[in-house]
Amino acid sequence: MSISGFQLLSLTVIASALLVYALVRRNGRQLPPGPRGLPIIGNIFQLPSKDGWITYKAWGDQLDSDIIHLNLAGTPMIVLNSRKATHELLERRSAIYSDRPRFRMLNDLMGFGWEFSFIPYGKAWKDRRKLFTQELQPPKSMLYRPRTLQAARTLLERLLEKPDDYMWHLRHMSGDIILSTAYGIKIQVEDDPYVQLSEAALKCEVVAAEWGYYLVDVFPALRHLPSWLPGMTFKRQAKEWKRLSVAMLEVPFEYAKKSVMNGTANPSIASSILDADGSSQGHEKELILRDVLATIYNAGADTTVSALGTFFLAMLQNPEIQAKGQASVDVATAGDRLPDFNDVGSMPYVDAILKEVLRWKPVTPMAIPHRLMEDDTYEGYYIPAGSVVVGNAWAIMYDKEAYGPNTHLFLPDRFMQGNELNPAIPHPDVAFGFGRRACPGQDIAWSSMWITIASILATLKIEKARDENGCIIEPSGEYTSGMQTYPKPFKCSITPRSQKSAALINDCTS
């Protein structure tokens, strides 16, 4: 080689930074305010290692701006800290804000390029989004409610039998809904390989999906350096993790195809689209179906588990709110039956609890980054084409003007007006993303979380656990940090509200 890898990287970084600087200077426009950075590399070493949403909001407050700019070695990063800014840019101007930055680690090296949430804006994305929306939004999503209801009731039985394993039961329920809906797979009662595969893949994906966590996202030239060099651990990690992404994509899809060919397929999205010979009217259509099913498999599991984990934590920390939620369910059911989807609209406090779960601890505090496709301006600031634009969902959910002064507290009543939901309080829908990149599966996600919360409130009591000496074990209340967050493990006591409640659970699953 006439030029070393390190020299290539250095030249790339310097050239990129100088190019952006020259373009901004030539424009004579002002970028949004941001923290002072270093020459050439900018703010790259100021990126927070954890809980970045809090840091970005603090920077915005210090600069008195709801939009801030960081320079990542020549790549402009724009963080939007308000509902006003995200609505104007990511919603109203979605035609130019719906691209994605290149996820070099996640897509190129780890093999998650099939996950259409992360692929660039264009025909491939539109084709996959269209099929996803067609299958998982009303009216078609209503067809999946019976199996969602059954999964929620099976969860009650499992919580009654082995309450200490509540987080695993949540994962099992989520996997049951997703795998049966997408592929027609009926998962095993214990140690299901599909659920285990999903859990393993998600653990590595949530790290790599945080754009910029791996420097190769910012410095693509790093891909060309040998893996034995210091600092190239990510290449060895990616090689190992790629096996998981390939398995998630191929294994359940092959099962569904064979089931259709053998005439043994259960009703599912796969069986409704695949022909009797296991094909999908052309190779390209089959690839689209395969990618969409894998995205459903991948995207839905941890979101639901994280939110319901927050529900468990909130209930044991706030027994008075739990009691109020139980009373709301009892009014609708008279305590004589389990809730079902006919009760939607008749339990407003359950809706308020779910809204507060999504607001209080958003599963994805920082939305997956968007990429601006052409130059733009906002509030007098210049935003260059190619900017990485990120909506800070956490900052929006903790806006005191929208949600009141005590945003750090779990208070479902903030969404209530008397005995009804208050339409003036913003729905925490930013938990599902922004604009054309918002999660198209949010209807089925909301339905599964709603019926699960209503069913648990109807029958079970969640309390703080006690140790062998009878002393209360206080949960830490701590959360993991990353693209998706979830509560760190905590112990709790789960018991039936009454003998009648236990009988209702046993009767519905017998």
The alpha-helical segments, DSSP class H, found in 80-229 are 83-86, 94-97, 123-136, 145-161, 166-183, 193-208, 215-218
259-270, pLDDT tens digit by residue?
A: 999 999 999 999
Q: Where are the alpha helices (DSSP H) in 230-282?
A: 233-262, 269-273
Annotated binding residue at 471? no
Yes or no: say if 444 and 453 are a contact pair by the CB < 8 Å rule.
no
Please name the residues in contact with 11: beta carbons below 8 A apart, sequence gap of 6 or more.
3
- Judged by average pLDDT, the poorest of 24-28, 277-281, 298-302, 306-310 is 24-28
Alpha helices, H only, 318-421: 319-333, 348-360, 393-397, 400-403
pLDDT tens per residue, range 207-245: 888 888 888 998 899 988 988 888 889 999 999 999 999
Burial class of residue 39, CB neighbours in 10 A (0-12, 13-18, 19+): exposed
At 298, is the pLDDT very low, low, confident or very high (cuts 50, 70, 90)?
Answer: confident
What does pLDDT average to over the chain? 91
CA distance 194 to 23: 49
Report the Cα–Cα distance between both ends of the chain, in Å, rounded: 71
Q: What are the tens digits of pLDDT across the range 30-41?
A: 999 999 999 989
In the beta sheet, which residues pair with residue 382? Answer: 377
Residue 12 has a pLDDT of 52
Residue 11's pLDDT is 43
For the record, the structure tokens of 483 come out as 């693209």
Helix (H) / strand (E) containing 462: strand 460-464
In Å, how far from its chain's centre is CA 57?
A: 20
Report residue 145 as tokens.
């409610």
For residue 464, what is the enclosing H or E element? strand 460-464
The identity of residue 216, as a single letter, is V
Residue 378 phi/psi, 5-degree rounding, is -150, 125
If 0-12 CB within 10 Å is exposed, 13-18 middle and 19+ buried, where does residue 231 land?
A: exposed
**At 99, is the secondary structure helix, strand, or coil?**
strand
Q: Which of 256, 254, 292 is nearest to 124 (CA)?
A: 292
Question: Does 1 have pLDDT greater than 70?
Answer: no
Q: What is the pTM of this model?
A: 0.92
Return the percentage of the chain with pLDDT > 90, whole number. Answer: 79
- pLDDT of residue 468 exceeding 50, the answer is yes
| 168 vs 158: CA distance, rounded Å | 10
Band (27; pLDDT cuts 50, 70, 90): low
Q: Which residue in 176, 166, 172, 256 sits closest to 475, CA to CA?
A: 166
Q: Tell me what percent of the residues of the chain surpass a pLDDT of 70.
A: 93
Residue 205 is predicted with a pLDDT of: 86
Looking at the DSSP assignment, which residues form a beta bridge with residue 71? 76
Residues 6+ apart with CB under 8 A from 469: none
Q: Give me the sheet containing 388-391, strands edge to edge.
A: 67-72, 75-80, 388-391, 370-371
Residue 276 pLDDT: 61
181 residue type, one letter: T
Q: Which domains are delineated in the chain?
A: 20-507 (1.10.630.10)
